[in-house]
Structure 1
Amino acid sequence: MKMREKEKKEEKMREKEKKEEKMREKEKKEEKMREKEKKEEKMREKEKKEEKMREKEKKEEKMREKEKKEEKMREKEKKEEKMREKEKKEEKMREKEKKEEKIREKEKKEEKRREKEKREEKMREKEKKEEKMREKEKKKRKRKRRRKRK
């Protein structure tokens, strides 16, 4: 009888050990699972970070592009302003030349007019002289006739 009880006890013990072994296995598995999840979480965090970084870089690239565009625009406006200034200057120059041309024309006309007056004055002087000469001649003839009569 004692033997049997001893066997029973041993059987119980083996059962208990088996159970404990099973439990340790289960815990080991669970530990492994937790480790796996931890790793996956880490990986997700890493990917999240990288995604954030890519987004940041994208934004910065966009910003650089925008600034480039704006710089180009400012350059364009600068050039256009320069062009307008140049045209303005040229217009001023043309106006100046026009004015000077007008003045030269005026002076030319004035010169012509003076020349004409000079010629006319000369002509009058000449006529006057001729008239004087005719008068002189007339008087001379008159005197001659008078002398003849006497």
Structure 2
Amino acid sequence: GTGYSSAQVSSDFNQQLSDNLNQYIGFSLSIPIFNNFRTKIAVRKAKISYENALVNERQSENNLSKIINQAVLDLRAAEKSYNSTRQAFQANQEAFDVLKQRYDVGLANSIELSTSQTNMNKAEFDFIQARYNLIFRTKVIDYYLGKPITFN
């Protein structure tokens, strides 16, 4: 740095600038020792956010696992229902066939035949419903396994 004064009439401008020349070196260091704990709080918040993300990830994995396990149980139940309704339909169909033969020879009346046919129709409806429920449950499992859903 340098300086100039009009009070010094003995020196000209250039002479004053060179006479009043001063040199210095400065160094500044700022260490935030106390910043109202902002940094410490920010670090804690980041750790909490990270832990929350981990908990949310685990919860999502658990929910997916629960959904898949339920889908497997539903498929097993649908298989059992399909097998039992198939057997019930076959039994009602055989009973209807026997009763129709008895009706044809006059050993059964029309009310018995109608009741047997109604029972067979209901068993067939239950069987069809169970079959489509089984197909649906199979497709749900295929979806979770990443297989494309196709209908044959």
TM-score class, shorter: 0.3 to 0.5
TM-score, length-scaled by structure 2: 0.41
TM-score, length-scaled by structure 1: 0.41
Q: Which has the larger radius of gyration?
A: 1
Quick one: higher RCO (CA 8 Å, sep 6+), 1 or 2? 2
Question: More helix per residue: 1 or 2?
Answer: 1
